[in-house]
């Protein structure tokens, strides 16, 4: 099996990791952690506007932003782009220091700052040629809602009462304080101990 993009181009998945032999999406618990995290993140990103458009138009004019078609970077530090602005990102990545930040926490912020400062790809810069081999041959990806439902069904949320941990910690501290007090009571402070001069 080959690598495929799901929902947005850019992140690529090994088909065997996310699809069953019947070419359906595997249950989330059967997908390895990294691709699972990316799929879950994609369920949010497919509905996000292009980052570059958003930097141009802002929240007040968000409806003028193009929908995202590409995603680059790591989950939670990714850049999502429309077809019009992908070349800007590719230029920044290839020619203006972006590749040096690959995998770094400031990856997305650095591109956003570069773009917000008015930097653009030179006219005629083509970016990346994406080739679709058999887009109709891929199963339809789950909708963001379906992915979220699967997540909630597959992973029970566990609530932790921090007060229980604090109570245990306080008991341990109190016990340690009692031991120290007992040891102090047993010390004979009238005893003469040899010094280095003796």
For 113-166, write each residue's pLDDT tens digit.
999 999 999 988 876 654 555 555 555 555 656 666 655 555 444 444 555 545
Mean pLDDT of 62-71: 94
Q: Which residues are within 8 A (CB) of 15 and not within 5 positions of it... i.e. 6 or more apart? A: 1, 2, 3, 4
pLDDT above 90 coverage of the chain, percent? 50
- The whole-angstrom separation of Cα 191 and Cα 198 is 15
pLDDT reading at 178 higher than 90: no
**Phi, psi torsion values for 80, nearest 5 degrees:** -110, 135
Mean pLDDT estimate for the chain: 79
Q: What is the pLDDT of residue 5?
A: 87
Report pLDDT for 151: 56
pLDDT for residue 51 is more than 80: yes
User: Which residue has better confidence, 62 or 146?
Assistant: 62
> Rounded to whole angstroms, what are the CA distances from 192 to 182, 186, 188, 189, 196?
21, 16, 9, 8, 13
Residue 156's pLDDT is what?
46
Please spell the DSSP secondary structure of 132-179, one letter per residue. -S-GGGSPPPPPHHHHHHHHHHHS------HHHHHHHHHHHHHHHHHH
Which runs of E-coded beta strand occur in the chain? Answer: 3-6, 8-14, 70-74, 77-81
Query: CA 31, CA 151: separation in Å to the nearest integer?
Result: 12
| Residue 79: strand pairing partners | 72
From 21-30, 110-119, 150-159, 173-182, the region with the lowest mean pLDDT: 150-159
Residue 14 predicted with pLDDT over 70: yes
The pTM of this model reads 0.66
Indicate the pairing of strand 70-74 with strand 77-81: antiparallel
- Residue 185 CB burial class (10 angstroms; 0-12, 13-18, ≥19): exposed
Lowest mean pLDDT among 10-14, 66-70, 142-146: 142-146
CB atoms within 10 A of CB 169: 10
Instruction: Provide the CA 104 distance to its chain's centre, in angstroms.
Output: 12
């Amino acid at each position: 099996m080959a690598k495929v993009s799901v929902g947005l181009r850019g992140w690529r998945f090994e088909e065997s990791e996310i699809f069953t032999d019947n070419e359906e999406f595997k249950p989330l618990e059967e997908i390895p952690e990294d691709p699972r995290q990316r799929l879950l993140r994609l369920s949010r990103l497919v509905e996000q506007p292009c980052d570059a458009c958003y930097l141009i138009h802002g929240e007040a004019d968000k409806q003028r932003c193009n929908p995202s078609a590409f995603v680059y970077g790591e989950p939670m530090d990714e850049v999502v782009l429309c077809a019009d602005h992908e070349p800007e990102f590719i230029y920044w990545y290839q020619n203006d220091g972006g590749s040096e930040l690959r995998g770094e926490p400031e990856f997305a912020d650095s591109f956003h700052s570069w773009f917000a400062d008015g930097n653009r790809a030179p006219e005629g810069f083509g970016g990346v040629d994406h080739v679709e081999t058999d887009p109709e041959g891929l199963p339809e990806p789950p909708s963001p809602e379906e992915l979220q439902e699967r997540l909630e069904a597959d992973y029970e949320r566990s609530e932790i009462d921090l007060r229980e941990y604090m109570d245990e910690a306080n008991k341990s501290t109190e016990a340690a304080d009692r031991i120290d007090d007992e040891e102090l009571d047993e010390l004979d402070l009238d005893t003469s101990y040899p010094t280095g001069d003796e």
